[in-house]
Amino acid sequence: MTKLATEITLFGTSISPGIAIGKPYFFCWKDDKVPEFVVSEEDIEQEIERYHEALRLCRDEIRVLQKKLKDELIQEGAEIIEAQLHITQDPLFTHTMEEEIRSSKKNAEAAFKKVIQRYQDRFHSLKEPFFRERFKDIQDISRRIILYLRRSIRFSLAEIPKDSIIVSSELSAIEAAEAKKGKVLALLTGKGSSTSHAAIVAKARGIPFIANIDLKALHADVDFLIVDARKGVVIVNPTDETINSYKALSSDISLRFSKLIEKPTLSAETFDGYKIRLSANLEMASDVDSLHEHGPLGVGLFRSEYIFLPKKEFPTEDRQFEIYRDIVQKMRGLPIVIRTFDVGGDKSIQDLPTLQKGNPFLGCRALRFLLREREIFKAQLRAILRAALYGEVSILFPMVSSLNEIKEAKLLIEETKKELDLKGVQRADRVRIGCMIEVPSAAIIADLIAKECDFLSIGTNDLVQYSLAVDRANHDMQGYYTPTHPGVIRLIKLVVAEANLKGIPVSVCGEIAADPRFTSLLIGLGIQELSLASRYIPVIKNAIRSTSIIDACKLAEKALSLSTAEEISDLLTEEYKNSVPEDLHFISSSM
């Protein structure tokens, strides 16, 4: 085959930003034929034991990866890997397999492949992204078990050559966790979405990742690749000139970002003195300590469901109280907003059938679920009220769609207060109550909801999804998932205007809060607080300090006058380029 000499540019979906220059490493699982033979009656128990040994080795391997992520302080990734561990305890991998070996009298490999095939047929008939993502996890684990059963040579992304760019049809969370930074420079896949487990792990680890690349254009004789995950661009066989240009760009980005990190005590205010409150999103209690590295930050969104999702069972009131109290005490007097359990949608619990019916994103989710399962809800409310004695705590209700829901939730808070008082349990006298604006109905009646709340928090990820009728987990629909859609911008403006009339603040906690191109727009729309992952705080603080309230208001006025998402996107990119010309990391990104 003739070596490709011409520089070729491929386009995909940017999952995790960054730049990488290296050699492609084609990673795939060999789907060799699994041996099949009859096992004699006297050897069946031994065959079952052989299977359990392979399952044990697989679990040990996953535990090693989990520890690795914990050592890297990547708690969200560690929790995802812990969820993989719990999958290996599913009856599918235990009782079902034992029964299949006994009934079929076939070797473990053949029995296992048959069981997995049955599950694959069932999962492929389901349309919900949550179940498709779950089967990816099951599939990855099953491949590893088969390899141990066949005593194949174990190979993982931890063992590849240095300075490699992984090219694969698809990657699992475990594989993304195996990838060693320094060896693995970037990830390229033929399929994938920004909400997949592999994407979450890659983002947490800071590994550039582009999905939905045309892999047919990447041949085995390609020597060199440049991955520009800011723009979703892959350059195949780059010229020396292109390589040198990207090396200089990458070095400049690293240098500028390191300078931003060196200034954690600078205040988040525009250059004409308008202050914006920056807060951190928090998933795991163990992440609190790292927050203080970026200055005196409060927590604008603690996603409380992450304390139990990997284990798939709700913690007791006392256990929740201990977790919340420890977090509040570690806040050192800074405020924290605890969002009540947001389960359903892509955060499902297998043992709760109310979460599984129909489309989980449009069913019994979040506050709807909690108002049905009142004992679960009240146990959490009691735990929060008890923990609020130790600091400044607010309660945030997710996925509110009507005024009745917020009123009913507030009545339950009063009930739980009385229950604690009757038992003589100490609690906070008052906590601030907030409501998430994530669906159009809540945005439209923001004037009514604002009367019942102390603050509002706009969850733009879901607001975009529900406003535009786009499944954000479906990579085929990525082109329609546009946060710059005029309808979305106008809904944000509407919410802020109504909240201002009632004298309550509004924050934004979606992904656009971490994108500096949106910062000036959000300030101009009247947003007073941005809540985001702490790693993006330095960049957003710099964006705030590089604009003025007057310029921000003019930008918002101009954006509201535009007709298309593309026009608004171009406007925000151009304005950000003018105000922060040195930020090469985001300027060339596409929205």
Tens of pLDDT, residue by residue, the chain (591 residues): 344 468 889 998 888 888 999 999 887 655 556 666 677 888 888 889 888 888 888 888 888 888 877 777 676 677 777 777 877 887 878 888 899 899 998 888 888 888 888 777 766 655 555 555 566 677 778 878 877 886 644 455 666 788 899 998 888 776 777 777 778 999 999 888 776 767 777 876 778 999 989 888 787 678 889 999 988 899 998 999 999 999 988 888 887 777 777 666 788 999 999 999 999 888 766 677 777 777 767 999 998 887 776 555 788 999 999 999 999 999 989 999 999 998 765 444 544 544 444 445 555 678 999 999 999 999 999 999 999 999 999 999 999 999 999 999 999 999 999 999 999 999 999 999 999 999 999 999 999 999 999 999 999 989 999 999 987 666 667 678 899 999 999 999 999 999 999 999 999 998 899 899 999 999 999 999 999 888 788 889 999 999 999 999 999 999 999 999 999 999 999 999 999 887 766 654 544
Binding-site residues from annotation for phosphoenolpyruvate = 303, 339, 461-462, 472
DSSP letter at 1?
A: -
Query: Which of the residues 58, 197, 364, 435 is marked catalytic?
Result: 197
Specify the 3-state DSSP secondary structure of 62. Answer: helix
Give the pLDDT of residue 310.
54
Specify the 3-state DSSP secondary structure of 389. Answer: helix
User: What is d(CA 420, CA 166) in angstroms, rounded to the nearest whole number?
Assistant: 55
Name the pTM for this structure.
Answer: 0.69
**DSSP H or E run through 397:** strand 393-397
Ranges in the chain annotated CATH 3.50.30.10? 8-27+156-241
Question: Tokens at residue 557, please?
Answer: 């006025």
Specify whether 197 is catalytic.
yes
Ranges in the chain annotated CATH 1.10.274.10? 43-150
Query: Tokens 């047929």 map to which residue?
Result: 121
Question: DSSP readout, 429-461?
Answer: S--EEEEEE-SHHHHHTHHHHHTT-SEEEE-HH
Binding-site residues from annotation for Mg(2+) = 438, 462
Ranges in the chain annotated CATH 3.20.20.60? 258-579
CB contact at 8 A, 264 and 542:
no
Which residues are CB-neighbours of 62 under 8 A, at least 6 positions away? 81, 84, 85, 88, 141, 174
Amino acid identity for residue 173 in this structure: A
Of 157, 218, 213, give the one whose Cα is nearest residue 189. Answer: 213
Give the pLDDT of residue 4.
46
Give the pLDDT of residue 409.
96
In the CATH scheme, what is the code of domain 43-150? Answer: 1.10.274.10
CB contact at 8 A, 305 and 370:
no
Give the pLDDT of residue 356.
46
Specify whether 294 is catalytic.
no
Of 508, 511, 488, give the one whose Cα is nearest residue 440. Answer: 488
Give the pLDDT of residue 296.
67
Give the pLDDT of residue 291.
75
SS (HEC) of 83-135: HHHHHCCCHHHCHHHHHHHHHHCECHHHHHHHHHHHHHHHHHCCCCHHHHHHH
- 8-27+156-241: CATH topology is Glucose Oxidase; domain 1 (3.50.30)
**DSSP H or E run through 301:** strand 298-303
Of 542, 514, 515, give the one whose Cα is nearest residue 269. Answer: 542
Which residues are CB-neighbours of 586 under 8 A, at least 6 positions away? 17, 230, 515, 516, 517, 539, 576
Q: Which superfamily does 258-579 belong to?
A: Phosphoenolpyruvate-binding domains (3.20.20.60)
Query: Which of the residues 58, 435, 453, 509 is marked catalytic?
Result: 509
Amino acid identity for residue 270 in this structure: T
User: What is d(CA 10, CA 24) in angstroms, rounded to the nearest whole number?
Assistant: 14
Binding-site residues from annotation = 303, 339, 438, 461-462, 472
Query: Tokens 């078990």 map to which residue?
Result: 145
Find the angle CA(567)-CA(571)-CA(576) to the nearest 5 degrees: 155
Give the pLDDT of residue 3.
44
